Structure 1
Amino acid sequence: MSKMEARRSWSISEESLRRYVHYASESCIQDLLSASDPSKVDGWKVVALNAGGVEISKRDSSGSHPVFRSRWLLRSVSAQQFITVANAIDAARQWDPDLVEAKYIKDINDNLSIIALRFGDASKPLFKNREFIVYERRETMADGTLVVAVASLPKEIAAGLQPKRGKAIRGLLLQSGWVVEKADDDACLVTYVLQLDPAGWLPKFLANRLITKLVMIIDDLKNLVEECPPLDGSSPSS
């Protein structure tokens, strides 16, 4: 680690890290639940409606990076099936095939982990030579709704856990994740939210265009579910 990196990293105790990540992930979970609530308009504007039924919306934030959301009623995938692939590593593999590393750095508890994602030189513009150090928290609400919250650690904490390597740019997932609501035994309503700061220079219109495509990840993960053996050993639904 260089002297500059050392000055910009924080040595943090296990207990302090646990408390910080628990608090930050709780906030992210509440934001995701709010974004999935159809009764809360909160400035969301529909920007696309895919022929397959995926609704893509955008909401401007107080910062320079808008929040994007996609929603889709999956009629052939159960909530439990979908949640098995709704995780940071599977999502990263769908974002870009040039993911060169995805590893768990540490487990905070049974449903809360720290993960490192690294993309290569051949990746798409949003991910080219970029790293993300994120937490992932999976939570089941009282009504059975499944929530997966994924967001970056602050750069100073991330540098203390995983020093930046080479010329990699460390981007920020300001917030992201899934809310998976059971519709019936073989259907679920999935909401995906993404707010991304890729870091480095990228024209705003291009970044927004690419992020709009990224929130179509529900379709990619649905296909991944259908390729996986069903949980009960029966034939996949068509």
Structure 2
Amino acid sequence: MIIYPTMEIQNGRCVTLEKGRLDEPMIWHVDPVETAKGFAASGAEWMHLTDFNAIEGDDSNDELIQDIIRGAGIPVQLGGGMRSREQVEYWIDKGAGRVVIGTLAARDPQLVQELAKHHPDQIVLSVDVFQGQVMTDGWRQSGAFTPEAYLEAFEGAPFAGIIITDIDSDVSDTEAQMGLISHLASLVKQPVIASGLVRNADDISRLKYISNISGVQVGRALFRKTISVEDALAVARPEPEPVAEFQ
């Protein structure tokens, strides 16, 4: 299982959000490029980056994001504001390892399937779930789709992965959260990346044994220091197969 250390950028600064509230960010006074390099130095093979300004149509973080892509030392999975073919291909040309598409997939599913075919292993579908509905426009608009119907509509699309975010995950019912991600992961053949579920190493341990979960995004827990990248990677490693002693 791949651990994706996750960084969220707003106005050039690292932030984390509670339930997607863009107007109430928690600001972390760290250097984004150095933080990305730290992810790689800790052993991460990928990182995830979300540009919250881009969700609002603001490209002021572009230069910083390019610096992170060039300087991180590991591939960057980039999301935020991918609302057109041009925007997606712009970031692929700028070196993003993968581009994450959310709202555009709800508005123009045919285009997104075409992009996935034209850019193998580089297009990731984002499915954000709140109270049983798929959300779009930076978690502010209900798309009037159930996640089950939405995933079914993209059955067979050659995505590099599907990120499933449980926006309700701030609630304390861990079993309900794990039940949702397990259910949705069972419906698709594409690799699933779980987001919004990790607070500590125990959560990674639970996700590790859910079928078809290929990766986990870990963001807020890293900044709050309830888990380190090294610890997350250690928990995610497959358990060695038992070997019978030779008699």
Larger strand fraction of residues = 1
Greater per-residue helix proportion: 2
TM more than 0.5: no
Q: Which has the higher contact order (CA 8 A, sep 6+)?
A: 1
